[in-house]
Structure 1
């Protein structure tokens, strides 16, 4: 019984599975087996005809239903393949959209980081009151955005614009910002980054002074040039050579902010100069002169340095004003101050003490040295032919000299002693130098 069931089950499985072997030969073979079995049953004696009819009918049913089942499965499979294909297309579209959004987000984050970096560097530029330090921060900021060969800053005196002679030309290379960037070292040695005027720079200077507008050259050696204008006069030129981002927004933003800060620093220097310098004579104003005198006295005491002070008065200056007028008198004062400055060192300080009186601070100078300087100044002025408008005239000086000592240990006593020596010189006939008795 069980053997019969197993054999029939195996036979029906073959009939059903013949449709899934993807070859018509197996389907024909299964159908032929059914036919042979039916014919055998007809001619077989002792076989129940109803049983064989039932078996034949069920075999045909299994065979043809298997065919329909195969078609149904293939139809479902095709539909499912279409759905899977559509799902994959949607998934691919979603993945591409996600990639685009991710890229856009990364670009936004990168740009935000760049803007934050630029903002920090622009704030750092704004804090600087030194033009070279501002150039250094500009170069550092630019090196974080793109490559370049050099950044050059040329500074000019706008009062002497026509001469096109630069006060200083600083040049920083891209390599200065690579590796271990030591800002403090570069600031301490900024003179090493000064360069001389060459034909390339001279050509750029000429074009800037002619056009007064920024321009970019995208040739073999891409460069960008920005004039720095004050009162419509060229006070500086910023040059970036070999720059890979000549048309980038970062370069324009940084250059614009840098130029603005250079203009601010130069304006501050001009205001500071006006506050510390006498407008007529170009020497220090009295307040600044006295502050420096007090500071140098303190330093000289601390380090046991010598220090001397000269009080100078232009002889008969009132007569000059009365005879030639105040305009001529102003010219005499200005030229006298210029002569005094030419006969002292850079570390010394000349100041206008009041009216026609000048003070000279001689750093690290004893009494004998001060006397030599005073005589040199007196002789130089006496030998100068002053030209004021159409007038030619001469002037002489009376000079009082005092040096720092135990008795003259502060600014007040030092000035008082020099002033007393000055009046002693006047009392003796003017055009002479007198030393303070203390």
Structure 2
């Protein structure tokens, strides 16, 4: 730029020199004119330099202003995103509060899980969620109740049950939430008998006061949602623990401490209730009497601790073999009783045979012993065999004695022996 200005100065000087010589301009006028022109030229150069500096400064300020506005816009966008995120979290907390408030007002598993399922579907994407309520000490956990809820847009299907024993073993191995992806752990999905439509599965233990009370299984759940889900699951565990405590207090009065089945007194209360209901609606219902074959020999050979363990295991088999509406009780000693509402004789015989076969195939592992035993069962049905509760039990008892007389390990129906 300076070279260009110098060239311009030389050109002006040459121009004035030629004009001076060509036109004979008086030196008196030429020199002042030349000085003025040079002054003007250098004044222009000074102004141009100042102008360039001013334009450069203005351009810099404009760029700074744009950058500041850009930062302001960016800050506003970040603020909007933060407000949106905070609002979403607040709404989630409100929903969680409403859900837990509803759960806290209930003392039944069915009601609590229904509320939990509604909140789960509104807040997360998943295929299916299952709840397994666990009972027993850590070294003998078993599933007492099962519930399930399907995600939004998912069609409920009849599927094979998961391998629940495997799930419990996985919990005992990890003692925390576990998340499996089919691509990474295909053998786990095969072991659990999970279909190909399940891409991932999470097992979340529900613990309260260092005691596991249940396990949640969630299929096709996003791993980044696990932390948020854990907040809900922790609250849900507290509600389950509350219901379990309530049920424990309630059951102490009506359940047998060894087998966890109902006591004889409660059995007869429910028998009379079912009798009245069946009379009113003209339903049939069945009564089963069950007795362990040669139980005295088992007690004499292995001791009462082994006998108690067999009674406990048999109570569990009976409970797992019937519906939730059925009433299973320890009638006394090694004898058990069952009420099967709305059940005709053919169905009652199938249930009795299923229980008998399960016990026959079971190997009872007690301490260092492996023991096999059998049971005999007598069946009676209202109103075909009796119209009164005690008479119905008496008919089932007579059928039980007939089963014993027939060689044990059999099922007999009262009508077939009279």
- In structure 2, what is the equivalent of residue 46 of structure 1? none
Residue in structure 1 matching 2:240, options 238, 245, 262 = 262
**Kept in 2: contact 1:153–1:238 (CA 8 A):** yes
Q: For 2:54 and 2:101, locate their aligned partners in 1 and report how far apart those are by CA, in whole Å.
A: 69
User: Which of 1 and 2 has greater Rg?
Assistant: 1
Does residue 116 of structure 2 align to residue 140 of structure 1? no
2:230 & 2:44 partners in 1: Cα distance? Answer: 74
- Please report the RMSD computed on the Cα atoms of aligned residues, expressed in angstroms: 5.0
Q: Is the 8 A contact 1:155 1:236 kept in 2?
A: yes
In the alignment, the residues of structure 1 paired with residue 225 and residue 71 of structure 2 have an alpha-carbon distance, to the nearest angstrom, of: 31
The reply on whether 1:345 has 2:341 as its aligned counterpart is yes
Show structure 2 runs of 5+ residues with no match: 186-199, 257-261, 285-328, 345-381, 402-418
Q: Who is 1:379 aligned against?
A: 395
Distance 1:160 1:285 in 2: 30
- Paired with 2:268 and 2:240, the residues of 1 have a C-alpha distance of 26
Using the alignment, how far apart are the partners of 1:196 and 1:212 within structure 2? 23
Contact 1:134 1:258 in 2 (8 A): no
**In structure 2, what is the Cα distance between the partners aligned to 1:42 and 1:90?**
58
Alignment TM-score, normalising by the size of structure 2: 0.53
- Corresponding residue for 1:92? 67
Tell me the equivalent position of 1:415: none
1:15-414 to 2 correspondences below 5 Å: 27-42=9-24, 49=26, 53-54=28-29, 57-58=32-33, 60-82=35-57, 84-86=59-61, 88-89=63-64, 91-93=66-68, 95-96=70-71, 98-100=73-75, 102-128=77-103, 129=106, 130=110, 131-143=112-124, 148=126, 150-156=128-134, 158-159=135-136, 164-172=141-149, 176-178=151-153, 196-198=161-163, 201-209=164-172, 212-215=175-178, 220=184, 224-229=202-207, 233-246=211-224, 248-270=226-248, 280-281=263-264, 283=266, 300=280, 305-306=281-282, 335=331, 342-345=338-341, 370-371=386-387, 375-381=391-397
Q: How many residues align?
A: 296
Normalising by the residue count of structure 1, what TM-score does the alignment of the two structures yield?
0.51
| Structure 1 unaligned spans of 5+ | 1-18, 44-48, 309-332, 349-364, 386-438
SS at match of 1:235: strand
Distance 1:284 1:134, change over 3 A: farther
User: How far apart are the structure 2 equivalents of 1:109 and 1:33?
Assistant: 74
Secondary structure of 2:130's counterpart equals: strand
* 1:54-76 Cα deviation digits (max 9, x unpaired): 46624541343233222332234
The 3 A distance-change label for structure 1 pair 220 and 334 is closer
* Distance of aligned partners of 1:384 and 1:209 in 2 relative to their CA distance in 1, 3 Å threshold: farther
Check whether the contact 2:206–2:237 (CA below 8 A) recurs between aligned residues. Answer: yes
Q: CA deviation at 1:149?
A: 5.3
Conserved in 1, the CA contact under 8 Å of 2:330 and 2:337? no
1:342 partner SS:
strand
CA distance in 1, matches of 2:236, 2:139: 24
Query: SS in structure 2 opposite 1:153?
Result: strand
Deviations 1:127-168 (A, max 9, x none): 14424414423531452xxx5554332223x14875544234
In structure 2, relative to structure 1, the CA distance for the partners of 1:90 and 1:307 (3 Å cut) is closer
Distance 1:79 1:34, change over 3 A: same
